[in-house]
């Protein structure tokens, strides 16, 4: 792994995540009544739990506003959730201020064009393997896993290993 990325990983105290295409595979399932569901990856959730056990914080910034996201965030004990975001850079800055963190202490993972403002601010900017090509110039690295299929867990494992936290 690149030494510059290794150094960035060591500084991370907070991971901010997008939802659709990052914590999910970006698919939505609709029933005949118009209700929809999202699929989350259990191993990403376990990784978030490991981050919390290591004393690190987690947050979500998403453009959507759904009960599904709040239900998942509560289950995972996500520290901060911002839904209905129309300006992810402003929300990123607000979270940084709330936790008293410098931007270089924050990792952000997102998959599409609306994530660019937050990716540009992050000390470590990451995208899932199946991200929109339009964001690649704004990320430090691209995971080998797709969104909703272990991309978040891959990043978390890298953060924890770089900071010498046991993953077991």
What is the set of domains in the chain, with CATH numbers?
Answer: 3-162 (3.40.50.1000)
| DSSP 8-class letter at 146 | P
pLDDT of 101 over the 90 cut: yes
pLDDT of 105 over the 90 cut: yes
Instruction: Pick 32 or 87 by higher pLDDT.
Output: 87
What is the DSSP code string of 100-153?
T--GGGEEEE--SGGGHHHHHH-SEEEE-TT--GGGGGG-SEE-SSPTTTTHHH
In the predicted model, what is the mean pLDDT of the chain?
95
CB neighbours (10 Å) of residue 137? 8
pTM value is 0.95
Residue 17, strand partner residues = 60, 109
Q: Which of 148, 119, 116 is nearest to 134 (CA)?
A: 116
Instruction: Give the model confidence (pLDDT) of 45-70 as tens digits.
Output: 999 999 999 999 999 999 998 899 99
* pLDDT at residue 1 in the model: 72
* pLDDT at residue 31 in the model: 81
Query: How many helices (DSSP H) and strands (DSSP E) are in the chain?
Result: 6, 8
- Measured distance CA(6)–CA(168) in Å, rounded: 21
Average pLDDT value for residue range 9-17 = 98
Average pLDDT value for residue range 92-96 = 98
CB within 8 Å of 2: residues ≥ 6 apart: 141
pLDDT of 43 over the 80 cut: yes
């Amino acid at each position: 792994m690149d030494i510059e990325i290794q150094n960035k990983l060591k500084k991370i105290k907070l991971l901010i995540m997008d939802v659709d295409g990052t914590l999910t595979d970006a698919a939505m399932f609709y029933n005949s009544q118009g209700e929809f569901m999202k699929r989350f990856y259990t191993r990403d959730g376990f990784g978030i739990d490991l981050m919390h056990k290591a004393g690190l914080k987690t947050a979500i910034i998403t453009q959507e506003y759904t009960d599904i996201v709040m239900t998942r965030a509560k289950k995972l004990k996500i520290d901060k959730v911002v839904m209905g975001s129309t300006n992810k850079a402003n929300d990123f800055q607000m979270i940084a201020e709330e936790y008293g963190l410098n931007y270089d202490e924050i990792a952000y993972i997102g998959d599409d064009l609306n994530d660019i403002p937050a990716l540009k601010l992050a000390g470590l900017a990451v995208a899932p393997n199946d991200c929109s090509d339009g964001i690649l110039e704004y990320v430090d690295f691209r995971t080998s896993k797709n969104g909703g299929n272990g991309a978040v867990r891959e990043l978390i494992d890298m953060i924890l290993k770089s900071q010498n936290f046991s993953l077991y």
